[in-house]
Structure 1
Amino acid sequence: MAELGYLTALRRDGGRLAEAVRDLRAPVPACPGWDVAELVWHTGEVHWFWQRIASGAVSGPDDYREPSRPAEGELVAWFAEGVEVLAGTLSALDPAEPRWTWGRPDAGFIQRRMALETAVHCWDALSAAGRDEPVERELAVDGIDEFLRFFLPDAPPAGFRTDVHLHATDGPGEWLVRPSGAGWSVTSEHTKATTAVRGTASDLLLLLWRRKGPEDVEVLGDARALEEFVDVSQLN
């Protein structure tokens, strides 16, 4: 996706997240231990952090100071305002502009990460409101690519031999992921694997992010291998 597409997605899904809030005390099933207030605060604080990085106000995590948490009655409005401030900051930057990130050190990485972070947390908020609405397909495909590039450990765990084929059923998109020496091989080829997983791009993305389970997709082959694969990802 182009950077303008990411900013459109950020604004759209940020707005959908805010609109979905009905009860700040409602639990968020996808994030055990969180209520909606914690979800809104977390997502808004992530936006705040990356806006500070993108704007050049701070050069990295060592310079960062967390904002004061708004009162609950002001939380959603604070979040919505932060979405627009972040999108405005990012829209003024060339994607190649150097910036600190934990991935690729440029503004384009932040644009992509913020669109995808917001999309997944938008799904969390919708789910808390009883609405299982998919991540937009093009963004979900891009999110799978991002996940497989940046959210697997640098090296497979010792003894890990699983290879997984992910296949989107709602349009183009397939990925073959294999342990390869000290790293991973990720290709778009269509071939047999220990485990094949078929589902919509949204469901595959949400599976990788542990929002959905194997029962929400079609799993062919070794189902335990799929669980092992998801378990090795670098998620907080």
Structure 2
Amino acid sequence: MEIQRYLECLEADFARLREVAPPALAADVPSCPGWTVADLSRHVGEVYLHKTLAMREGVEPDPWPPAALADEDPLALLDRTHADLLAEFAARKPQDPAGSWYTPDQTVGFWYRRMAQETVIHRVDAELGAGVPLAPIPPDLAADGIDELLKIFVAFGVAEWGSDFAEALRDSPGRTVAVRAGEASWLVNTVPFTVTDGAAAADATVTGDPAAVLLWLWNRAPSGVTIEGDPAAVAELRRCIAVATQ
């Protein structure tokens, strides 16, 4: 996806989140156990600020979050940090350096993608908490989110922090899962953990439209996907995703 497209998606999903959150701040978010919509709003605001500082200072701030943020109204924090994030993007070029946990890409462009994907998933969380219909997720954003989750979160995570995945992959013989989402497809191999474009024959197959597959992978909404093949292969992939995104 192009940088401008990420920004368009981020803005559309932020607007939807900001629309549904205010009347439902006290509501529980079923996809984020223990959180209310107010907690979710605060979290997104803290994430926006964290990434703004990662671009501004060249390194991700740690420890995080600052205690002072807890005293700020969650919607005020969300609005303030969203504005700061956009201003930081506007002040920099996508190829400019920025701190990030993903060592292969230490650029501002990485955060355009990550913030667009962060916002769409948490927009869905807000809708689920508010009990309102889910707005559509554009197919291009959904397919990009699947790619990011499988390659950047899970495959890179296993390669970089393998011990964290030891329990999820314990005694695994190595399984394959084909993920098919519209015209896009990926083949996941669990041992060693690799993700390649294009789905070949596999132990299990997950198929659906891009939005349904994205939400299923993020465990965000009732399944709209078709699953065929070995349940153990699917369970292994889901365990790895859970570790990578915790």
Q: TM-score, normalised by structure 2?
A: 0.85
Following superposition, which runs of at least 4 residues in structure 1 exceed 4 angstroms of deviation? none
Specify every segment of 5 or more residues in structure 2 that has no aligned partner in the other structure, as ranges: none
Whether contact under 8 Å (2:179, 2:199) holds in the other structure is no
What CA distance in whole angstroms lies between the structure 2 residues aligned with 1:64 and 1:32? 21
Q: Check if 1:232 corresponds to 2:240.
A: yes
Residues 17-96 of structure 1 mapped to structure 2, 5 A cutoff: 17-21=17-21, 22-56=23-57, 59-62=59-62, 66=66, 67-71=68-72, 74-96=73-95
Alignment correspondent of 1:168 = 181
Q: Normalised by the size of structure 1, how large is the TM-score? A: 0.88
Alignment correspondent of 1:202? 211
Q: Give the Å deviation of 1:180.
A: 5.0
CA 1:212 to 1:227, structure 2 compared with 1: closer, same or farther past 3 Å? Answer: farther
In the alignment, which residue of structure 1 is the partner of 2:119? Answer: 118
Cα contact 2:213–2:224 (8 A) shared by 1: no
Deviations 1:24-60 (A, max 9, x none): 110101111111000000111000111111123x633
Give percent identity, aligned residues only: 32
Deviates more, 1:22-31 or 1:85-94: 85-94
Could you tell me which residue of structure 2 aligns to residue 159 of structure 1?
171
CA distance in 1 between counterparts of 2:95 and 2:224 reads: 38
Cα contact 1:140–1:201 (8 A) shared by 2? yes
Asked whether the 8 Å contact 2:3–2:94 carries over to 1, the reply is yes
State the shift of 1:81 in Å. 3.1
Query: Shift of residue 158 of structure 1?
Result: 4.0
How far apart are the structure 2 equivalents of 1:108 and 1:121? 20
Aligned alpha-carbon RMSD (Å)? 2.0
Give CA-to-partner distance per residue, 1:51-80, whole Å, 9 cap, x none: 111123x63323766252355xx4224312
Aligned mates of 1:32, 1:16 — CA distance in 2: 21
| CA-CA distance at 1:83 after TM superposition | 1.5
Q: Decide which structure has greater helix share.
A: 2
Q: 1:3 maps to which residue?
A: 3
How far apart in 1 are the matches of 2:46 and 2:82?
10
- Tell me the distance in 2 between the aligned counterparts of 1:203 and 1:135: 9
SS in 2 for 1:232: helix
Contact kept, 8 Å, 1:123 with 1:134, in 2: the verdict is no
List runs of 5+ in structure 1 lacking aligned partners: none
- How far 1:125 moved relative to its partner? 0.4
**Residues 102-161 of structure 1, C-alpha deviation per residue, up to 9 Å, x if partnerless?**
012111111111110011000110111222333221111111111111211225734331
Q: Is this contact kept in 2: 1:195–1:226, CA < 8 A?
A: yes
Q: Find the counterpart in structure 2 of residue 218 from structure 1.
A: 226
SS at match of 2:228: strand
Deviation for aligned residue 1:197: 0.6
Aligned length: 228
Range with bigger deviation, 31-40 or 220-229: 220-229
Q: 1:65 to 1:198 in 2, by over 3 A?
A: closer
CA distance in 1, matches of 2:185, 2:219: 19
SS in 1 for 2:189: strand
Letter aligned with residue 145 of structure 2: G
